[in-house]
Amino acid sequence: MYIFACDLEEWEKEKFLRLSDDHHIDFCAEKLTEETVQMAKDAEVLSVFIHSELGAGLLKRMPKLELIATRSTGIDHIDLGYCKEHQITISNVPTYGDNTVAEHVFALLLNISHKLTESIDRTRRGDFSQVGLQGFDLRGKTLGVVGTGSIGLYVIGIAQGFNMHVLAFDVKPKQELQGRFGFNYVDMKTLLTQSDVITLHVPLTPKTHHMISEEQFERMKQGVILINTSRGTVLDSKALVKALAEGKVAAAGLDVLPEEPAIREEAEMLRSVFRKKHNLETLLADHLLLRLRNVYITPHNAFNTCEAVERILDTTMKNIQGYAGGQPQNVVS
């Protein structure tokens, strides 16, 4: 089969080259775009990461495409309707960084609770004053976990180590998990009103889009801490800016933003097509968040450890080999 792998770094090619004895493989370091899709026009298998937006306009220029092997769990960057209509199989990586992302949640939270960024910046300037650097303990605080999938459960496990009290919400609660992991399921209203820290672990669906907006912020405790490592549009960034300004949210740790691809492409802002494609109000809110001193943003990097990336590539190879051998795996609809 003809495999085209894009949006990947040089060292990642070594994994794909293991398939070269049985398949023809081409690479592109850039994401799939109107310009780069020409190189992939004859591909039967396409492997991408989340930065490649696979809409119908691009996919129709690959008439031989049979399999999209995305190197991610999420599939919201792929036009599922087009793939179903044209019988294109999609395989993902269902688990690879559950503990990795959970650890990043606490990296963000500890940065906030111990004012690490401010402390490090100050001492680098030769200033060893402790004024304004007082933090707070996690011990005894209530953590609200929205979504108890694999990542959410790892977060709960780590929280137990800090002696935090854990509340959780899930649209499909698994009651048997409560005793095993030491938390309590509650409704969303209770979680919002009782949590000192709230962390989001849900996939992006029409129902989770802006699930945290003005109404939800109004229910939260004054001075709550908010962490989001799931998807940018699960959180209404304009509502978050307002909550931060009013002190409802004391600090936020974010690994995702709604318009993060647009922020990376600011030079395009004057083009009319860009204005149609992106929500400029949300983009402005994202820029405000980037500049607030009590908001700590990482570049969608929560998954990015050596071990997790190895797991991503290993599963992707198995997905491609399984499909080529007539036994597709990790197929999503």
Q: Same domain for 150 and 265? A: yes
Q: Same domain for 116 and 214? A: yes
Q: What is the mean pLDDT of residues 94-119?
A: 96
Q: Same domain for 25 and 143? A: no
Q: Same domain for 61 and 185? A: no
DSSP, residue by residue, 222-237: TTEEEEE-S-GGGB-H
Q: Same domain for 248 and 105? A: yes
Q: Same domain for 138 and 190? A: yes
Structural domain boundaries enclosing 26? 2-96+306-332
User: What b/e sequence results for 202-233 when a residue is b if at least 16 CB atoms lie within 10 Å of its CB, and e otherwise?
Assistant: bebeeebebbbbeebbeebbeebbbbbbbbbb
Q: Tell me what the pLDDT averaged over the chain comes to.
A: 91
CA distances from 285 to 242, 259, 325 (A): 10, 9, 48
**pLDDT of amino acid 286:** 72
Q: Same domain for 279 and 141? A: yes
**94 pLDDT more than 50:** yes
**pLDDT of amino acid 330:** 97
Q: Same domain for 151 and 245? A: yes
**pLDDT of amino acid 274:** 43
Residues above pLDDT 90, as percent of the chain: 80
pTM (2 d.p.): 0.85
Q: Same domain for 85 and 105? A: no
Helix, strand, coil shares, percent, the chain, to 5:
40, 15, 40
Question: pLDDT by residue (tens digit) across 162-178?
Answer: 999 999 999 999 999 99
Instruction: State the catalytic residues.
Output: 231, 260, 300
Torsions phi, psi of 47, nearest 5?
Answer: -115, 125
- The CATH number that applies at residue 123 is 3.40.50.720
* Whether the Cβ atoms of residue 258 and residue 297 lie closer than 8 Å to each other: no
**pLDDT of amino acid 261:** 52
Question: pLDDT by residue (tens digit) across 16-41?
Answer: 998 999 999 999 999 999 999 999 99
Torsions phi, psi of 201, nearest 5?
Answer: -145, 60
Question: pLDDT by residue (tens digit) across 307-330?
Answer: 999 999 999 999 999 999 999 999
